[in-house]
Amino acid sequence: MTREDTLPTRPMPKAPTTKVDFNSLKAPAGYVPGLGRGAAGFTTRSDIGPARAGGIDALKGAPGSKAGEGEDPNLDENKFDEFMGNDAGVFAATGEYDEDDKEADAVWEGVDNFMDERRREAREKRMKAELEKYRAENPKITEQFADLKRQLADVKYEEWESIPEMGDYTLKKQRRLERFAPVPDSLLARAAADVAGGTAAGAAKSLDPSSGLASSLGGLATPMGGAASTVSDLTAIGTGRGTVLGLKLDRMADSVSGQTVVDPKGYLTDLKSIKISTDAEISDIKKARHLLKSVIQTNPRHAPGWIAAARLEEVAGKLPEARKLVMQGCELCPNSEDIWLEAARLQSSVLPTTPRRCWLAAWRSCPESTKLWMAAAKLEADDTAKARVLRKALERIPTSVRLWKAAVELAAEDDARILLSRAVECCPQAVELWLALARLETYENARKVLNNARKAVPTEPAIWVTAAKLEEAHGADQDTVDKIVGKALKSLSANGVVIHRDAWIKEAENCERSSPPQLVTARAIVRCVAGLGVDPVDLEATLVADAEEAAKRGAVETARALYAQALATFPSQAQIWRAAAALEKAHGSRAALDELLKRAVTFCPQSEVLWLMAAKEAWLGGDVDGARAILARAFASNPDSEAIWLAAFKVEFENNEPERARALLAKARENEAANGYPRVWMKSALVERELGDGAKERALLEEGIRRFPAFEKFYLMLGQLEARPGGGGAEAARAAYRAGLARCPDSIPLWRSAARLEEEAGNVARARALLEQARLKNPKSAELWLAAIRTEQRAGNEKAADTALAKALQDCPTSGPLWAEAISMAPRPARKTKATDALKRCDNDPHVVAAVAQLFWADRKVEKARSWFNRAVTLNPDIGDHWAQFYKFECQFGTPEQQADVSSRCAAAEPHHGERWCRVSKDTRNAHQPPEVLLRRTVADIDTLPPP
């Protein structure tokens, strides 16, 4: 077998047949070329007429396809995406945009950006060249005349003046301004007179012969039906118009009294004052008139209806109709005093005699009406006529208290006494009349009057109070007045009167405020009613609360009496003694305060505060020996009291007795109880510093540190001692501060003192590091942030200071000192905005308020600055820096009285805080100085030194 036999054989091709021409065949129904590969396809107008959409739409509308066949119900043509289209092609079911498509698009976008970047430089050069070419071919007007404008700088003033003014060379024809004025009546009248008087010839020469004025009649007499018209005088027409107006004015005049009531000068003003009602008001008036007419017709005996109808007509401006209605009401309701009063009021505008006739009719109808008699008395001009009317009224109505009071007010003193004697007989229940009669009588007669009044009105407390005041006015002692008030309470209770404790205390306050003050009566009332109706458990708190409220209302004597009653009931309560002492210090005398404190320490010998208050008041009064005696008695009662030991030291130290103070503290250190007080050792070191013995001071401080290692002030004083000239130097001070920080890491003054020591030694970086370490151990400390800001400012790093301030405000957003520093550091235009932000964060902070006051001071707004400074020292009077700023402000803008007021208020407040105040007061040169001297020296510190 050969190789050719083993190979596969290829089938033989078929014989060629006739080739099919598909282009000549008819296309199937609904066939669209290219639709299978996603092409849209199209048809022409020659196929089906008007053009139609291809693709799926062509299949939908093709012949042989059913309506709705193949439509996608979820297809929405409004939801079309620029990239994906509407997914209606061949990939409608599977054409999702996946991560591969996104990556491909990102690649192609990168290619496009790369190609665009390659062409960008050339494109920008081409655009720049085209722009320069366009500007060179089309220059601006300003560029064309730029060189000429530069040459204008060399033009002289005379050349400018020699340039002629530009006239109006416009070719447009200007419209001529024509003015017309009406011919006055006098000119026409004179022309008519000239024509009628024989000047027709001259007129004819000057007039057109063809005109009517050139005729024999002058043109003014034109034949009209054979009758000549009269010559019209236009001036006479104006005169007649004024005459008609005068006749109208005369017609408006009132001829009853023979005089006109029209003011010719104020006539136009009166016309302007006339109220012109609107259509709505007229409609409302008509409705109200109709309604009130129905009321008075339905019930003609109803007086308020007639009064309302009359007032409606008065409002509508129809006074005659109002008077007519009210008189009809008086006829139908003769017993109503209100309608008679309304009638008299409306009739008073007609004639002075008309209301009198009205009153006579009213008295005949209502003889017992007090209102009518009082209104009639008011109509009289003088007091004699008024008194006559009132006495006639009292003859008719003797029981009217109102009439008696009015008659007494118009009478003299003797006549008033007689009237009141008769009045209390006619009106025995009128307490006011009894009291008025008692005030006018003598002492003996007044007692009789009050006794009669008490019998007539046994339930009236005012009679008893008046009796107590009467006895006090005539020199009665406290016991007598107390008996009267006590009898009053018993009598009133027996007659069924409920005794209200608060009302009686108010009456005591009224007695204190009367002129002259009735203090004995006030104290008697308080003594009798203090514990009335109060639970014994709540009596102490109630008495103290009532005393505080009375003091707030200004009733000092009432508050003093309440405190006295509380102390008499609870003599061993130290807080009541302190409150009473505070009241005496604020409103009483020094002698009364000393007496009260002596009684207080007698009843409360274990109260250290009362002993200290007594000693301080004696010392402030200049009685140093008395203060020593009081403290000696206090030692006997409280031998182990630290406060009394320190008070005794202060008395000796502040009176320039350092040796006695040293001996006293040495005795205290030997005392077993006082030896355990760290402040005793601190004051001992302070005395040695005052005396200048540094070695003893160091020994005391070291002993104090050994005994009390956690007391921070020992380390501060030791560091200050070593840093002073003659001390151990900076290294020793640094060691003292380091030891203190190891024992007291929470002490802010220690951290600040250590950082300031490094700064003064020139190690600003070390100071900055110490402050940062302090903030880590004591977060959100405004004092540390402020120290860091001041450190950067002193080093000249303003940007670092601003950065530290921003961080500080983020860490402590409600710190007043930080906001005050932010206001002072801000540029002047931004300080008001910064102050507004500070007030939003901490409105009632005294540091912020003082900073705002300084802004007003800088703007010369004196009153506002004074008000804000006053607010700052009121919010916290213990800050001496604010007092110093306030005093400096008053020294510049205030009077000597205002300066003295600030100084006295500062001395009374005795401030102990403030950066500058503490720096001045703790200086050894300012020891034992009063607050007034420290205030002035703090002002000098503000003027000369930067903040500490």
CATH code where residue 302 lies: 1.25.40.10
Position 534 pLDDT exceeds 50: yes
Out of 47-61, 298-312, 733-747, the most confident range is: 733-747
**Helices of type H across 259-302:** 267-273, 279-298
925 — pLDDT class (breaks 50, 70, 90): confident
Average of per-residue pLDDT values in the chain: 79
Grade residue 35 by pLDDT with cuts at 50, 70 and 90.
low
Domain count, the chain: 3
Query: With bands split at pLDDT 50, 70 and 90, how would you rate the model's confidence at 77?
Result: low
pLDDT at 256 over 50: no
634-672 pLDDT tens trace: 888 888 888 888 888 888 888 888 888 888 888 888 887
| pTM for the structure as a whole | 0.58
User: What are the two backbone dihedrals, phi and then psi, of residue 879, each rounded to the nearest 5 degrees?
Assistant: -95, 110
Q: What is the DSSP letter of 154?
A: G
Residue 531 to residue 533: CA distance in whole angstroms: 6
Q: Is 542 helix (H, G, I), strand (E, B) or coil?
A: helix
Residue 236, pLDDT > 70, answer no
Mean pLDDT to the nearest integer, 47-74: 45
Q: Are residues 705 and 757 in the same domain?
A: no
Segment 698-715 mean pLDDT:
92
Kindly state the percentage of the chain with pLDDT values over 70.
76
* Closest-CA residue to 900 (of 909, 891, 892): 891
Give 474's contacts (C-beta < 8 A, 6+ positions apart). Answer: 443
Q: Which DSSP category does 913 fall into?
A: B
Same-domain check for residues 738 and 764: no
Same-domain status, 316 and 421: yes
pLDDT at 288: 80
User: In whole angstroms, what is the distance from residue 636 CA to residue 629 CA?
Assistant: 11
Which pLDDT does position 217 carry in this prediction?
38
Is residue 559 scored above 50 in pLDDT?
A: yes
Rounded CA gap, 357 and 368, in Å?
Answer: 18
Greater confidence, 810 or 299?
810
Domain end position, chosen among 425, 450, 466:
425
pLDDT of residue 736: 93
- Domain hosting 649: range is 639-744
> What are the two backbone dihedrals, phi and then psi, of residue 856, each rounded to the nearest 5 degrees?
-65, -35
pLDDT-derived band at 135, boundaries 50, 70, 90: confident
pLDDT of residue 729: 87
SS3 290: helix
Task: Tell me: do 403 and 421 sit in the same domain.
Answer: yes
pLDDT digits (tens, 9 = 90+) for 865-908: 999 999 999 999 999 999 999 999 999 999 999 999 999 999 99
Are residues 420 and 289 both part of a single domain?
yes
Q: What are phi and psi of 767, to 5 degrees?
A: -65, -40
Do residues 736 and 790 both lie within one domain?
no
Residue 527, SS3 per DSSP: helix
Q: Residue 560: CB partners within 8 Å, gap ≥ 6?
A: 547, 580, 583, 584, 588
> Which of 812, 832, 855 corresponds to the end of one domain?
812
Same domain for 669 and 802, yes or no, is no
In a domain, 646, yes or no: yes
pLDDT for the residue numbered 743: 92
Q: Is residue 693 part of a domain?
A: yes
**Residue reference for tokens 């012969």:** 209
783 with 675, same domain: the answer is no
Confidence of residue 771 (pLDDT cuts 50, 70, 90): very high
Structure tokens at 84: 């994906």
Q: Is residue 480 scored above 80 in pLDDT?
A: yes
Residues 312 and 401 in one domain: yes
How far apart CA 559 and CA 255 sit, in angstroms, is: 72
Residues with Cβ within 8 Å of 403's Cβ and at least 6 positions away in sequence, in order, are: 370, 373, 374, 390, 393, 394, 397
pLDDT digits (tens, 9 = 90+) for 401-417: 888 888 888 888 888 88
Residue 400 vs residue 522, higher pLDDT: 522
How far apart are the C-alpha atoms of 109 and 119, rounded to whole Å? Answer: 15
Q: Which residue has the higher pLDDT, 418 or 832?
A: 832
Q: What are phi and psi of 67, to 5 degrees?
A: -70, 130
Question: In the structure encoding, which two tokens stand for residue 849, read together?
Answer: 């308020």
**Quick one: pLDDT band at residue 60, thresholds 50, 70, 90?**
very low
Mean pLDDT over 931-939 rounds to 93
d(CA 111, CA 105): 10
Inside any domain, residue 130: no
Average pLDDT over residues 931-948: 91
> Could you tell me if 326 and 419 lie in one domain?
yes
| pLDDT > 80? residue 191 | no
622 domain residue, yes or no: no
Helices (H), 223-369: 234-252, 267-273, 279-298, 303-315, 319-332, 337-347, 353-365
Mean pLDDT confidence for 723-745: 90
The reply to whether 390 falls in a domain is yes
Identify whether residues 323 and 420 lie together within a single domain. yes
Choose the most confident range, by mean pLDDT, from 62-71, 417-426, 447-456, 705-714: 705-714
Q: What is the mean pLDDT of residues 27-54?
A: 59
Residues 710 and 663 in one domain: yes
Compute φ and ψ for 603, nearest 5 degrees.
-85, -25
81: which strand partners? 85
Choice between 137 and 194, residue whose per-residue pLDDT is larger: 137
C-alpha to C-alpha distance for 712 and 683, rounded to whole angstroms: 14
Answer with the residue of higher pLDDT: 816 or 58. 816
Of 425, 452, 478, the one marking the end of a domain is 425
Across 895-910, b (16+ Cβ under 10 Å) vs e yields: eeebbeebbebbbebe
